[in-house]
Amino acid sequence: MQIIVSQNKKKYCQKNQPVELRKSQTQAEEFLWEILRNRQFMKLKFRRQHQIGDYIVDFYCHDKRLVIEIDGGIHNKQYQIKKDKKRDVYLTSLGITVLRFTNEQVINNIENVLQEISEYCLPSPSGRREGDEGEQHRGRGCDTVLFIDARKIYHQIDRAHLNRV
């Protein structure tokens, strides 16, 4: 009987863990979430503290099968590096790409972080992302450009409409 109680408690903890993690985000996670939320970034839907299998990822975009992880100092420890590698192997086996950034990169160099994310999300000039050979991509292809202005507001602008304005 005691084993069943502990299993139920484990399931209860796993269900509520994403909620608790959302309440205790780091400054870098909050900063990036303000950019990713509500389809503000490239009109992509991101989920925050999303559970995939036994793991909870910082940000997940199902359409692009993309996980974004924001790593603090603890991720430099040897035991955490091994755990992160095991987790990345598992996510990759599901066909999910993992992009990792440090807290410092997000806070001090958000433009480069967003550029790297957008490079993954936009099709390459050949029309294919690495590893997607033969797949058709949804979206507007090479007619879509990501503009970053001084206020850190990100917009997609269709090149076909630029000449009409």
Span 65-84, average pLDDT: 84
**Average pLDDT value over all residues in the chain:** 74
Asked if 122 contacts 114 with a C-beta cutoff of 8 angstroms, the reply is: no
Bridge partners (DSSP) of residue 147 are: 155
Number of domains, the chain: 1
Please check whether residue 4 lies inside any domain of the structure. Answer: no
d(CA 89, CA 74): 19
Q: Give the model's pLDDT for residue 117.
A: 95
User: What is the pTM assigned to this prediction?
Assistant: 0.64
* Structure token digits, residue 72: 């603090």
On the question of pLDDT at 61 being above 90, the answer is: yes
β-strands 97-102, 144-148: how paired? unpaired
Please check whether residue 3 lies inside any domain of the structure. Answer: no
Percent with pLDDT over 90 in the chain? 48
Span 44-69, average pLDDT: 95
- Domain span including residue 157: 17-162
Please check whether residue 12 lies inside any domain of the structure. Answer: no
Span 1-30, average pLDDT: 56
Please check whether residue 8 lies inside any domain of the structure. Answer: no
Please check whether residue 9 lies inside any domain of the structure. Answer: no
Residue range 104-143, pLDDT digits in tens: 999 999 999 999 999 998 876 665 555 554 444 444 444 5
The domain that holds 124 is classified in CATH as 3.40.960.10
Instruction: Specify the range with the lowest mean pLDDT, choosing from 18-27, 52-61, 127-136.
Output: 127-136
Please check whether residue 144 lies inside any domain of the structure. Answer: yes
Say whether 57 sits in a helix, a strand or coil: strand
